[in-house]
Amino acid sequence: MPPSRRLVLVGFMGCGKSSVGRVLARRLGWSFVDLDAQVVKAEGRPVPAIFAESGESHFRAAEAREAERALARDRVVLAAGGGWAAQPGRLANLPEGTTSVWLRVSAEEAVRRARPRSGKRPLLAGPDPLGTARELLSRREPEYARAHLEVDTEGRTVEDVAARVLQLLESEPGIHTPLETR
């Protein structure tokens, strides 16, 4: 595998992709891109409005466009939306020099973490958020598991998760990332 020129963080909602991504970008001296924020900026409306007014398929198409733009850059950490990596072939077709990292979280922990922001999580807006989270996670896990690296986020701080990702990047055979700035 060639040296990493970009990182993409994947995983279920609430796993910490955005928070961990910001820390990783800062430590690496790279740029940070939050995919959901890029979609909101491009669409000019919040994620729940995109889902309500245009549907999930429209959101996924916008998400794919913004991810392609971000992954064309070097020295970037991309926090992908929870559904982006769940699309078949996404992780298998990353640009050369991209390392993917699955930040694992249980459905129970995801719902607990997402509860304060439940209005911003349209997929958990129904009457049984935990049941929905379990079903979604069950469907998405096989795609998330295609990531190059995996880090469990349960019971860990954002800083701990970021440190573990950097440790894995330094020690994983075949993955070489310049870590001049930490």
Q: Is residue 7 part of a domain?
A: no
- Please state, rounded to an integer, the average pLDDT across all residues of the chain: 88
Between residues 88 and 95, which one has the greater pLDDT? 95
pLDDT value of position 3: 63
Between residues 73 and 171, which one has the greater pLDDT? 73
Please state, for a pLDDT cut of 90, what percent of the chain lies above it: 71
pLDDT value of position 1: 44
Q: Is residue 182 part of a domain?
A: no
Between residues 158 and 177, which one has the greater pLDDT? 158
Kindly tell me if the per-residue pLDDT of 172 is higher than 90.
no
Q: Is residue 87 part of a domain?
A: yes
- Taking residues 102-113, report their average pLDDT: 93
Query: Which residue range(s) make up the domain with 107?
Result: 17-171
Q: How many domains does the chain have?
A: 1
pLDDT value of position 171: 79
Q: Is residue 179 part of a domain?
A: no
Kindly tell me if the per-residue pLDDT of 18 is higher than 90.
yes
Each residue's pLDDT tens digit, 111-127: 988 765 545 666 677 78
Each residue's pLDDT tens digit, 32-74: 999 999 999 999 999 889 989 999 899 999 999 999 999 999 9
Please state, for a pLDDT cut of 70, what percent of the chain lies above it: 87
Q: Is residue 1 part of a domain?
A: no
Q: What is the DSSP string of the chain?
A: -PPPSEEEEE-STTS-HHHHHHHHHHHHT-EEEEHHHHHHHHHTS-HHHHHHHH-HHHHHHHHHHHHHHHHTSSSEEEE--TTTTTSTTTTTTPPTTEEEEEEE--HHHHHHHHGGGGGG-GGG-SS-HHHHHHHHHHHHHHHHTTSSEEEE-TT--HHHHHHHHHHHHHHSTT-----S--
Distance of alpha carbon 26 from alpha carbon 167, whole angstroms:
15
pLDDT value of position 117: 55
- Whether residue 110 contacts residue 82, with contact meaning beta carbons closer than 8 Å, is answered with no
Closest CA to 81 of 131, 161, 166, 144: 144
Which is it for strands 6-10 and 98-104: parallel, antiparallel or unpaired? parallel
pLDDT value of position 65: 95
pLDDT value of position 166: 94
Q: CATH number of the domain at 145, please.
A: 3.40.50.300
Between residues 161 and 47, which one has the greater pLDDT? 161
Q: Is residue 91 part of a domain?
A: yes
Q: Is residue 65 part of a domain?
A: yes
Q: Is residue 8 part of a domain?
A: no
